[in-house]
Amino acid sequence: MSADPVTWKLTLPCTKAEAEAVAAYDGEIDAVLITTEVDEAAGEWRLDAYFEGEPDAATLGQVRELAASGGWSTAMPEPLSDEDWVAISQQGLEPIREGRFVVHTSAHPGDAPDGGRAFLIDAGQAFGTGHHGTTSGCLAMLDRLAVEGERFANVIDLGTGTGLLAFAARHLWPEARVAATDIDPIAIDVTRENMAFNDVDQVALVVADGTRDPAIAQSAPYDLVIANILAGPLIAMAPEVAAIAAPGATIVLAGLLTNQAEKVVDAYAAQGASVRARNVRGDWTILCLTAAAERRSVGTDGSGRGDWAIDA
């Protein structure tokens, strides 16, 4: 007798605007949310929500609010077997190539070019397979920095997800000290597993809310700060990112929609940072900033973090 399914799926129609809002959503819904374009000409999109266990009415209501244009669809969640979930998570994840990097899943192997590096990152419980425009754009930005001859000695990847960007930094600057942090302990567990899969070593792993951990402060300042999160948290974290950045450090920011970019730029400009480069990928923008010539200070308890609100 087979075990009961643990993953449930709810599919709702939505608009492009709602899909963009879902991508920028930073609320607390106990679900994995994935949006897909169904018909470009008609502007039709789809929201798929995956739940660990059968969702309750309150959680379903939260998800339905994100796709309210569909007239509060009466579609109900359905259980998936473990095999169905693995198959869904791997669908369409062909290897991606960014500069010297290839990122692939177990189902779709890929080889790195000469002098490059391939990373096996399976879809799972943490964000960052490389297939999302923000993650692949960060890979391209890091590769560009290396091509331009940049050298870094102390690197931190805030909100590391799967660890991919920290691994890329480790490859590009093998003499550097590299740390990867995430607020979610599961993400750090996933990163640790991915380190083993990919024979990556000497990446320090820290569970932390932003930069608020003594280990992060003690290892500062960092000459390369990477944060692929969301626009709102990036804005709120601007003072503390500035506080751990070395004078003139490079800061790579992603997870923001293109129409949110100027608000993020303004938040970091207030900390003395300036824009060095942008990588626009459709609705998403990756920013490369240069930190202020002098370090800013902020309490290690995150007392420099402000409240934030941002319109998509």
- List, for residues 224-255, the tens digit of each pLDDT value: 999 998 888 899 999 999 999 999 999 999 98
Residue 85 lies in a domain: yes
79 and 104 in a single domain? The answer is no
Q: Which residues are part of a known binding site?
A: 135, 159, 182, 228
- Region 15-32: mean pLDDT is 79
Q: What mean pLDDT value characterizes the chain?
A: 82
Residue 160 lies in a domain: yes
Confidence label for 301 from pLDDT (cuts 50, 70 and 90):
very low
Query: How far apart are alpha carbons 3 and 87 in whole angstroms?
Result: 18
**Which of 49-63, 147-161, 262-276 shows the lowest mean pLDDT across its residues?**
49-63
Q: Which domain covers residue 162, as residue numbers? A: 94-290
- Region 275-303: mean pLDDT is 80
pLDDT at 217 over 80: yes
Cα 141 to chain centroid distance, Å, stands at: 14
Query: How far apart are alpha carbons 223 and 251 in whole angstroms?
Result: 8
Whole-number pLDDT of residue 2: 40
Confidence label for 112 from pLDDT (cuts 50, 70 and 90):
confident
Residue 102 lies in a domain: yes
Q: Which residues are part of a known binding site for S-adenosyl-L-methionine?
A: 135, 159, 182, 228
102 and 240 in a single domain? The answer is yes
> Are 57 and 65 spatial neighbours (Cβ–Cβ below 8 Å)?
no
Whole-number pLDDT of residue 125: 40
List, as one string, the DSSP characters of 262-309. Answer: HHHHHHHHTTT-EEEEEEEETTEEEEEEE--SS-----TTSTTPPP--
| 22 Cβ contact partners less than 8 Å away, ≥ 6 residues apart | 14, 33, 35, 47, 66
Whole-number pLDDT of residue 111: 79
Residue 156 lies in a domain: yes
Query: How far apart are alpha carbons 161 and 128 in whole angstroms?
Result: 6
CATH number, position 37 = 3.30.70
